[in-house]
Amino acid sequence: MTVILLLMGLALLLIGGEALVRGAVALAYRYRLSPLFVGMVIVGAGTSMPELVVGVTATLGGSSPIAIGNVFGSNIANVLLILAAASLVRPIPSPPNVLKPDGIILLLITLAVVLLTLQGTVYFWQGLVMVMLMVALISADYLRVRSRTDPKAAESESPPPKGAEASPNLMIALLLLASGFATLLFGADMLVDAAVVLARHFGVSEDVIGLTIIAVGTSLPELGSALAAARAGHTDLAYGNVIGSNLFNLLAILGSAAMAGPLVISQTIPLVDGTVMLLATAFALYFVASGAKLVRWEGMIMLLAYVLYLGLRTAYSVA
């Protein structure tokens, strides 16, 4: 029964995330925002809503290891699973120069968060600073992209991503946002409860459950949007989604969870999983800076590395 509840929770997160993204993208195009901004901020933040709801719900329920594990695990999955899977559908060329500053910012913030979590506890005021920094980054990205791209020209850069045409009406877009968030809340609560029960039953720590099952589950919206973008040839949108989602995870989600906390963190997560997250993020940044194309065989190696990481991490926890 617990496994059924877990799967139902994952399904609700996927459905809620899809509705939320469709509503957010429809609003973005209604107000003539750049496709780059949509992929990097709107879709990136929207597809991270499952992680946000799970993180806050887990912390309020006294399961902060799930919250921190979910953030680190989702960021690892976004690069080694989602970006890799998108490259199998269509090789991904180096993203536009406009995304390079965000890649550098992501690497620096990833390093800062890993160092912060080494202290063992993340407090309310630190979480508040992280959330405020996320708001500042979104505002800066909006101003930077708007200054470089004329709204009418932006619309012609590439067709709207999946879901943008589906909700041209403002009320329908708002309804999608509201229903998506409500579904996420319900699914997250179900998922966290089931994950805690499974962790205790099999003797697996809650942080590893967050790093594996919940991280993959809450990353399903990112996976769906990245695959759809790759199939349609919008590879810049797929990459922007990964960058935006990882930034949102580290600042908005971890910050919100700390404000609901405090977050108590075992040393294993920053030392082991934080190192893996840093290496994955550095690879994503190299991909941007080098101008190289991410081809299918490289994506396959990334997927194999992710499977190896999951297997070793789970085995270490059980042992």
> Is a pLDDT exceeding 60 seen at residue 277?
yes
Whole-number average pLDDT of the chain: 77
What's the pLDDT at 163?
A: 45
* Dihedral pair phi/psi, residue 263, rounded to 5°: -90, 125
- Domain 2-318 in this protein, CATH class: mainly alpha
Name which residue leads in pLDDT, 234 or 217.
Answer: 217
Across 100-110, average pLDDT: 85
* Dihedral pair phi/psi, residue 232, rounded to 5°: -85, 0
> Is the separation of the CB atoms in 38 and 25 below 8 Å?
yes
What's the pLDDT at 173?
A: 74
Instruction: Quote the DSSP letter at residue 97.
Output: G
In b/e form, how buried is each residue of 162-180, taking b as 16+ CB within 10 angstroms?
Answer: bbbeebeeeeebeebbeeb
Torsion of CA 217, 222, 224, 227, to 10 degrees: -130
SS3 265: coil
- CA dist 82 and 85 (Å) reads 5
> Is a pLDDT exceeding 50 seen at residue 155?
no
Reported as a single tens digit per residue, the pLDDT across 63-98 is: 788 888 889 998 999 889 888 888 888 887 766 565
Give me the amino acid identity at 244. G
Reported as a single tens digit per residue, the pLDDT across 173-230 is: 778 777 877 776 677 677 767 877 777 777 777 778 888 877 877 777 667 667 766 7
C-beta neighbour count of 156 within 10 angstroms? 9
- CA dist 314 and 58 (Å) reads 20
Torsion of CA 279, 298, 300, 312, to 10 degrees: -20
Name which residue leads in pLDDT, 311 or 26.
Answer: 311
Give the chain's radius of gyration (CA, Å). 18
SS (H, E, C) 191-227: HHHHHHHHHHHHCCCHHHHHHHHHHHHHCHHHHHHHH
> Is the separation of the CB atoms in 184 and 15 below 8 Å?
no
> Is the separation of the CB atoms in 85 and 226 below 8 Å?
yes
The answer, as to whether pTM is greater than 0.75, is yes
- For residue 263, the cross-strand partners are 122
> Is the separation of the CB atoms in 13 and 46 below 8 Å?
no
Give the H/E segment covering residue 11. helix 2-30
Parse the chain into domains and list their residue ranges: 2-318
- CA dist 181 and 176 (Å) reads 8
* Dihedral pair phi/psi, residue 149, rounded to 5°: -130, 125
SS3 161: coil
Whole-number percent of the chain with pLDDT over 90: 17
